[in-house]
């Protein structure tokens, strides 16, 4: 596909990741069609054309396929039937197998384990009795996770080693019959992520690993370059590339990692798309993660992943909004040197909802952290550790 040649990119999903993807694609001369599946948040309208119909609408499927030259996803929970229907007719990148693996924790864990990638010990369960048996076999504190539709800490429950059967019964009832993954609870030292982009020619490039801090299970800040030791980060880069190769992956893939107190580097989760911890790439890197996605799925050369300046990305959640339609005063951020504010255009702010982000760039990492911390305090949040 050639920029400026009236080629169309189709995006399945209507959120902020697709918004930023469309901004980069249109800047490069591509047309963008977004199919939101009925979830219209306001973030979708950076595209040239938006379909709002449900993902199971057959007429919209035909229109989508007829219009676009290549398709991609901006979130993983796209119905498998739709992914396969699109892939049967036009190029879908990443492919349906990769997306459906990442959208289901059990499939994802089995993929990692089968291919020898380091991850936490786990068991799986398809009933309350299997859940209790799996818990007993683990013989440790665990995190019980629903196999499907879990993100930002949703569908997860910590269970202590000596918990009674009644606690597990209650968890199973809350999961409403969904399959579960019973995972070793990690004695966590740090969290970080590696964003890898792989082109159709097999070339892979990784952005600098992002040191991540979470609040209430939602990414709060990412720090670049990371303050972690270089050796585990280099190991993680190699793992991320190997994961992409094992999936025959084309596009941007985020690999989230744990480091435990014993120094083990463990894969936590995979995201078959651009990732929150890569938003800094818009303002701090030679090529953004969204630009890389456009290049990869269009068959264009991948761009440089160089980090031009140290950066801190801070997630702006709906908790900051005084009211659902009333944003906070952004003056403290906008008055800060090197601060880049991104608002996603969503209506109806609510606690935990990702409404925007701000990236602070500075000559040094410590200065970027200082600037971000001073702003956070003015909004009632703690400074960065």
Q: Which of 62-76, 90-104, 155-169, 304-318 has the lowest mean pLDDT?
A: 155-169
Q: What is the pLDDT of residue 52?
A: 94
Domain residue limits, the chain: 8-92, 121-184, 188-378
Each residue of 237-263: pLDDT tens digit?
A: 999 999 999 999 999 999 999 999 999
Q: pLDDT class for 39, splitting at 50, 70, 90? A: confident
Q: What is the pLDDT of residue 155?
A: 77
Q: What is the pLDDT of residue 4?
A: 78
Average pLDDT for 82-89: 98
State which CATH number among 3.30.470.20, 3.30.1330.60, 3.50.50.60, 3.30.830.10 fits the domain covering 188-378: 3.30.470.20
Q: Which of 310, 306, 326, 328 is nearest to 384 (CA)?
A: 310
Residues in Cβ contact with 222 at an 8 Å cutoff, skipping those fewer than 6 apart: 193, 210, 211, 212, 213, 276, 277, 279, 280, 312, 313
Q: How remote is the C-alpha of 115 from its chain's centroid? A: 22
Q: What value does the mean pLDDT of the chain take?
A: 94
Cα–Cα distance between 80 and 96 in angstroms, integer? Answer: 7
Contact 239, 191 (CB under 8 A): no
Each residue of 2-28: pLDDT tens digit?
A: 887 889 999 999 999 999 999 999 999
Instruction: Indicate the fold that domain 121-184 takes in CATH.
Output: Dna Ligase; domain 1 (3.30.1490)
Cα–Cα distance between 259 and 257 in angstroms, integer? Answer: 7
Bridge partners for 311 per DSSP: 224, 361
Q: How remote is the C-alpha of 369 from its chain's centroid? A: 23
pTM: predicted TM-score of the whole model, two decimal places? 0.94
State which CATH number among 3.30.70.2740, 2.40.30.40, 3.40.50.20, 3.40.50.10490 fits the domain covering 8-92: 3.40.50.20
Q: pLDDT class for 309, splitting at 50, 70, 90? A: very high
Cα–Cα distance between 280 and 341 in angstroms, integer? Answer: 11
Contact 372, 314 (CB under 8 A): yes
Q: What is the pLDDT of residue 151?
A: 60
Q: How many CB atoms lie within 10 A of CB 197?
A: 27
Average pLDDT for 64-70: 98
- Locate 118 and state its tokens: 């380091």
Cα–Cα distance between 272 and 171 in angstroms, integer? Answer: 28
pLDDT > 70? residue 149: no
Q: What is the pLDDT of residue 152?
A: 54
Q: pLDDT class for 303, splitting at 50, 70, 90? A: very high
Cα–Cα distance between 135 and 183 in angstroms, integer? Answer: 9
Q: What is the pLDDT of residue 249?
A: 98
Cα–Cα distance between 203 and 186 in angstroms, integer? Answer: 33
Q: Which of 175, 129, 139 is nearest to 160 (CA)?
A: 139
Average pLDDT for 357-376: 98
């Amino acid at each position: 596909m050639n920029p400026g040649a009236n080629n169309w990119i189709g995006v399945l999903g209507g959120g902020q990741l697709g918004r930023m993807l469309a901004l980069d694609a249109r800047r490069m001369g591509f047309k963008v069609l977004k199919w939101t599946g009925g979830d219209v948040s306001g973030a979708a309208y950076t595209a040239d054309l938006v379909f709002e119909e449900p993902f199971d609408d057959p007429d919209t499927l035909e229109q989508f396929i007829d219009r676009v030259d290549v398709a991609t996803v901006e979130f993983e929970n796209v119905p498998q039937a739709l992914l396969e229907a699109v892939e049967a007719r036009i190029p879908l990148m990443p492919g349906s197998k990769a997306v459906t693996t990442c959208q289901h924790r059990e499939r994802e864990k089995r993929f990692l384990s089968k291919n020898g990638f380091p991850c936490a010990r786990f068991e799986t369960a398809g009933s309350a009795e299997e859940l209790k048996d799996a818990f007993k076999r683990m013989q440790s504190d665990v995190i019980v996770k629903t196999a499907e539709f879990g993100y930002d800490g949703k569908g997860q429950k910590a269970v202590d080693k000596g918990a009674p059967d009644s606690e597990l019964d209650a968890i199973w009832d809350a999961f409403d019959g969904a399959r579960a993954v019973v995972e070793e609870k990690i004695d966590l030292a740090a969290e970080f992520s590696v964003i890898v982009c792989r082109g159709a020619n097999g070339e892979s490039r990784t952005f600098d690993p992002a040191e991540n801090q979470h609040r209430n299970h939602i990414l709060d800040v990412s720090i670049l370059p990371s303050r972690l030791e270089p050796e585990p980060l280099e190991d993680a880069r190699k793992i991320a590339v190997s994961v992409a190769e094992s999936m025959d992956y084309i596009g941007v893939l985020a690999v989230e990692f744990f480091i435990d107190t014993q120094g083990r580097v463990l894969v936590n989760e995979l995201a078959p798309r651009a990732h929150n911890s890569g938003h800094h790439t818009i303002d701090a890197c030679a090529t953004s993660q969204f630009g890389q996605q456009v290049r990869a799925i269009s068959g264009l050369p991948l761009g440089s992943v160089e980090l031009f300046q140290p950066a801190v990305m801070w997630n702006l959640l709906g908790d900051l909004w005084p009211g659902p339609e009333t944003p906070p005063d952004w003056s403290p951020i906008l008055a800060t040197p090197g601060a880049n504010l991104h608002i996603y255009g969503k209506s109806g702010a609510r606690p935990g909802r990702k409404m925007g982000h701000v990236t602070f760039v500075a000559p040094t990492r410590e200065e970027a952290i200082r600037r971000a911390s001073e702003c956070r305090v003015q909004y009632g949040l703690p400074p960065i550790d």
